[in-house]
Amino acid sequence: MVGGPAQTRSLAEVDITKIAVGPYNNNAYLVRCLQTGEALLIDAAAEPDRLLDLLKTTSLEPEAPLSILTTHGHADHWQALADVAEATGARTYAGRFDADDIPVATDVLVEDDDVITVGRVSLRAIHLVGHTEGSIALAYQDPVGTTHIFTGDCLFPGGIGKTWDDPQRFEQLLTGVTAKIFDRFGDDTWIYPGHGADTTLGEQRPELAEWRARGW
């Protein structure tokens, strides 16, 4: 909930901290390597002061590098990007085909299957087309547990992201989400969407046929 406290899930090698910001209830996620203190902020969506406070209170090492990945080019996902990047000197990442829609220079253009390193851990990029041309999800494999995927606006509890009643875009996104996420990862995989509650693939998998039949 916007205005509520941050929530942290502690894994073997990283902490994942989630905070909801802005008028559209956007989720921002901080993935912090426990060995080095380096961190990746996924979607500096809004309320830069709250995001900067989060960085100060999440046990980041003072000199540890910060990176920021913007999952896609829609404005509600980058409203705080300029302020947070300027205040922290963060390296910025975005999908190659959405970078031009983000009014902050992208330092690293991300493509499908690229690896983003955060300290001593890695996250793998999943390029998904349909919500936008260049949406990027990120998958993190916990070495002693489950996979954790940050899906932006491409996958939510109850369905895929918005495709504006365009059958071609709907087919692109559902096919991509099915092939690159549902077909690759197990039911215990955690899904962290760009808005709202977390879910698992096991909770969503039984609904795939219904999503296709309804067309959204």
Mean pLDDT of 83-96: 97
- According to CATH, the topology of domain 7-153+189-196 is Metallo-beta-lactamase; Chain A (3.60.15)
| 136, β-bridge pairs | 127
Could you tell me the pTM of the whole model? 0.97
Burial class, 84, CB count within 10 angstroms (exposed 0-12 / middle 13-18 / buried 19+): buried
Residues sharing a CB contact under 8 Å with residue 48, sequence separation 6 or more, in sequence order: 80, 83, 84, 87
Residue 208 pLDDT > 60: yes
- Say what the pLDDT of residue 60 is: 59
Q: Where are the domains of the chain?
A: 7-153+189-196
Q: In this predicted model, what pLDDT tens digit does every residue of 6-15 receive, in sequence order?
A: 999 999 999 9
DSSP conformation class of 21: E
Q: In this predicted model, what pLDDT tens digit does every residue of 115-164 receive, in sequence order?
A: 999 999 999 999 999 999 999 999 999 999 999 999 999 999 999 999 99
Q: How far apart are CA 199 and CA 150, in angstroms?
A: 11
Q: How far apart are CA 71 and CA 138, in angstroms?
A: 9
Q: In this predicted model, what pLDDT tens digit does every residue of 29-73 receive, in sequence order?
A: 999 999 999 999 999 999 999 999 999 877 556 667 999 999 999
